[in-house]
Structure 1
Amino acid sequence: MPPSHRITLKDLSRELGVSTATVSNAFNRPDQLSPALRERILGEAKRIGYRGPDAKARSLRTGRSRIIAVILAESLTYSINDAVASELLSGVAEVLDAHGHTLLLLSGRQHASQAPGSASMADGFIAYGLMPPSLMASADLPAHRPLVAIDFSPEGYPTVHIDNEPSSYAIARHALRKPTRRPAIVSLRLTESPCNGRIGEAHTLLPPEHSITRSRLAGFHQALEEQGFTASDVPIWNIEENTFEVCSPVIAEILDLPDSERPDLLMCMSDRIALTALTQAEQRGLRVPEDLRLIGFDGIAEGQYRAPRLTTVRQGSTEKGRIAARMILGLTKLQDTLLPTELLIGDTCP
């Protein structure tokens, strides 16, 4: 073909002796073709220089972009590096890849004026974590496009959750089977105003519907109360971001307390918090679990591969992503979904 000729879908279909619909499916709906046929079409497309259907033309023609946006509560850098968020995004991408859709990542921390313009490209939205009110109020989101929420409960939208409160209760109940004198809670973001340290009376907690941490806190408190502890008996330290760097100074504050005040059980709301505490305890010569017992939450691989192995709750982060993606593509019904969890008994709190 002459170099000046722009190769089209019709050119490729004529070259292969297949219909234009078959060629289109190879690029946009791979699940409709056998792997061998799709590989043949894509190989020939590459050979003759056909780059695929014009996305802009298709969008104008169909009114759909085949783009699904995931709106993240945290920054993109944090979310990609965080083990739990990364697993969730992997589950979303797996489903989108299989059905010829593109994943668009948006950070809820970007300026409100930037978000609607980017978001308007998408056919649907998956919101992970607490989504900013500015995005919830955007006409593009509630009025014209489907949305599925993960790990928070905006009114009027289907949600994908795990059973946070019973799961936290189950692991706390396990931890409290052995006598403890000074339990303490180390929480993921729990306060309305920034607080990277111990929560005091002046702090206001986030509403229960805005944060899974309130559900996890309720589960911990239920187990503690059954063992005779009141909420005021058990100190809570708040972590602003679930990273080693942000956790470290808070954990140091806890572990450097005098022996008579230092907790002998840390009930951590994430594996990252618990692993930070484990590392710092070892650096100080504290024995785990003899001097300090630790529980986490999430079930990330790192906590199960190192010694001592972390006692934690495993949640299906990848499966949460898959379920939300199937919903947003219309492959399954838009409905509230609650996933089970698994208690993993490790060495940090046998």
Structure 2
Amino acid sequence: MKVSDKPRRLTVKRMAEMLNVSTATISNAFNRPDQLSEARRRWILEECRRVGYMGPNAAARSLRTGRTGNVGVMLADNLAYSLTDPVASEFLHGLAEVFDRRQMNMLLLSSREDDEHRSRLQESMVDGFIVYGWLQEGRTYDRLLQHGKPMVAVDFDLEGCTWVNIDNYAGARGSAEHALKQAPETVAILGLRLVDTDQVCRVGDQKLFNEKRAISVRRLNGYTDALAAAGRQVSSELIWSVPVNTHQVAYQAAREALTSSPRPDLLLCMSDRIALAAIQVALQMGLKVPEDVRVVGFDGIPEGANLHPSLTTVYQQSAEKGRTAARLFLGEQEDRNVLLPTCLEIRESCP
């Protein structure tokens, strides 16, 4: 059948007749890929695309007009964590400010790969994606690329995709240079997701994540380059990887660091949550901050300014990061990569 001969309204039944398959086969090609061979599914999708049929459900058909009014926000972490983490929450707030003004909706999606059928259905209901955090290569990554929809990456680099990042390297290096002015004897780094493990651990000889995908490795490079410029270095045995940015896990890492020998008198922490946990551990051990141990954080969450001793930290523009990503997605600003600057906020924990 020629494209010019197609009926004005295509249905799943009509497509099944045209391709001499069952309606269930057409539906499976769009919504249950595990039910078909990859070659058969690809052939069905290509034929449907050729004649302008976008799928057997209302959400997919709306894509024929190019708009659903929904934006998929793909989160690297689970939804509960993303809504309680102060940095992620600020980022989502920034997105919402712009999308509210344009009367668009956000559909929060998790990058977990435990239910591909459900994920495909959800992803079919949006005009495109803002991908926040590290998206590992895998089924989710491949699936997003197959959609061929607009995408903006945030906090990591994605080939062929416009991204928004903060200058993690410069922020970390600047904070370390400030902390090193007082010539600490022993430096330890409490990192965030540096290696592929779900346990608190010392980095040792484990392979680090790729810095293009992991902002933590960019921060680590900033720290170590500042140390090298000062004629110092830190052993990989004094670099911890914290798998998730929660107080409980950060507390464990901080306690391991502050009970090691020699005990560090400077802790460079890759998040404010980790830094605040480190201050708590130090005070519980009877140590004075900053006299016995100085602590530097990263993020600039409000809690760090409100406690005593207040936290020296690198402030990142989390809400502006969200606003920028939304404006890029909507075409409200030039389609180019954006690197947002950071600011060192010097307080009591490392004056």
TM-score (norm 2): 0.79
Structure 1's 79 and 212: CA in aligned 2 closer, same or farther, altered over 3 A?
Answer: same
Whether the aligned pair in 1 keeps the contact of 2:204 and 2:237 (CA below 8 Å) is: no
Is 1:73 equivalent to 2:76 in the alignment? yes
Structure 2 unmatched ranges of 5 or more: 1-57
**Alpha-carbon displacement from aligned partner over 1:252-294 (angstroms, at most 9, x marks no partner):** 1122235xx1100000011010000011111111100000000
Aligned counterpart, 2:51: none
Deviation at 1:163, TM superposition (A): 0.9
The aligned runs of 1:13-162 (5 Å cut-off) are 59=62, 62-111=65-114, 113=116, 114-133=118-137, 134-138=139-143, 141=145, 143-162=147-166
Aligned counterpart, 1:270: 271
Structure 1's 164 and 285: CA in aligned 2 closer, same or farther, altered over 3 A?
Answer: same
Structure 1's 56 and 214: CA in aligned 2 closer, same or farther, altered over 3 A?
Answer: closer
Where 1:307 maps in the other structure, the secondary structure is coil
Structure 1's 269 and 284: CA in aligned 2 closer, same or farther, altered over 3 A?
Answer: same
Structure 1's 104 and 284: CA in aligned 2 closer, same or farther, altered over 3 A?
Answer: same
Aligned counterpart, 2:185: 181
Taking the aligned partners of 2:145 and 2:103, their CA distance within structure 1 comes to 22
Whether the aligned pair in 2 keeps the contact of 1:182 and 1:234 (CA below 8 Å) is: no
Taking the aligned partners of 2:173 and 2:188, their CA distance within structure 1 comes to 15
Is 1:199 equivalent to 2:200 in the alignment? no
2:96 alignment partner AA? A
Structure 1's 57 and 71: CA in aligned 2 closer, same or farther, altered over 3 A?
Answer: closer
* Aligned-pair Cα RMSD in Å: 1.9
Where 2:299 maps in the other structure, the secondary structure is coil
Aligned counterpart, 2:296: 295
Aligned counterpart, 2:20: none
Deviation at 1:326, TM superposition (A): 1.0
2:269 alignment partner AA? C
**Alpha-carbon displacement from aligned partner over 1:38-88 (angstroms, at most 9, x marks no partner):** xxxxxxxxxxxxxxxxx9699377341100011111110111000000000
Where 1:210 maps in the other structure, the secondary structure is coil
Where 1:180 maps in the other structure, the secondary structure is coil
Aligned counterpart, 2:249: 246
Aligned counterpart, 1:307: 308
Structure 1's 111 and 56: CA in aligned 2 closer, same or farther, altered over 3 A?
Answer: closer
Is 1:333 equivalent to 2:334 in the alignment? yes
Taking the aligned partners of 1:236 and 1:199, their CA distance within structure 2 comes to 6
Deviation at 1:142, TM superposition (A): 5.2
Deviation at 1:110, TM superposition (A): 4.4
**Alpha-carbon displacement from aligned partner over 1:10-31 (angstroms, at most 9, x marks no partner):** xxxxxxxxxxxxxxxxxxxxxx
Deviation at 1:227, TM superposition (A): 2.0
Whether the aligned pair in 2 keeps the contact of 1:73 and 1:131 (CA below 8 Å) is: yes
Where 1:78 maps in the other structure, the secondary structure is helix
Where 2:227 maps in the other structure, the secondary structure is helix
Aligned counterpart, 1:346: 347
Identity of aligned residues (%): 45
Taking the aligned partners of 2:64 and 2:217, their CA distance within structure 1 comes to 46
Deviation at 1:331, TM superposition (A): 1.7
Whether the aligned pair in 2 keeps the contact of 1:193 and 1:204 (CA below 8 Å) is: no
Deviation at 1:217, TM superposition (A): 0.6
Whether the aligned pair in 2 keeps the contact of 1:199 and 1:237 (CA below 8 Å) is: yes
Deviation at 1:210, TM superposition (A): 1.4
Whether the aligned pair in 1 keeps the contact of 2:202 and 2:237 (CA below 8 Å) is: no
Structure 1's 57 and 221: CA in aligned 2 closer, same or farther, altered over 3 A?
Answer: closer
Structure 1's 77 and 302: CA in aligned 2 closer, same or farther, altered over 3 A?
Answer: same
Deviation at 1:119, TM superposition (A): 1.2
Aligned counterpart, 1:230: 233
Aligned counterpart, 2:13: none
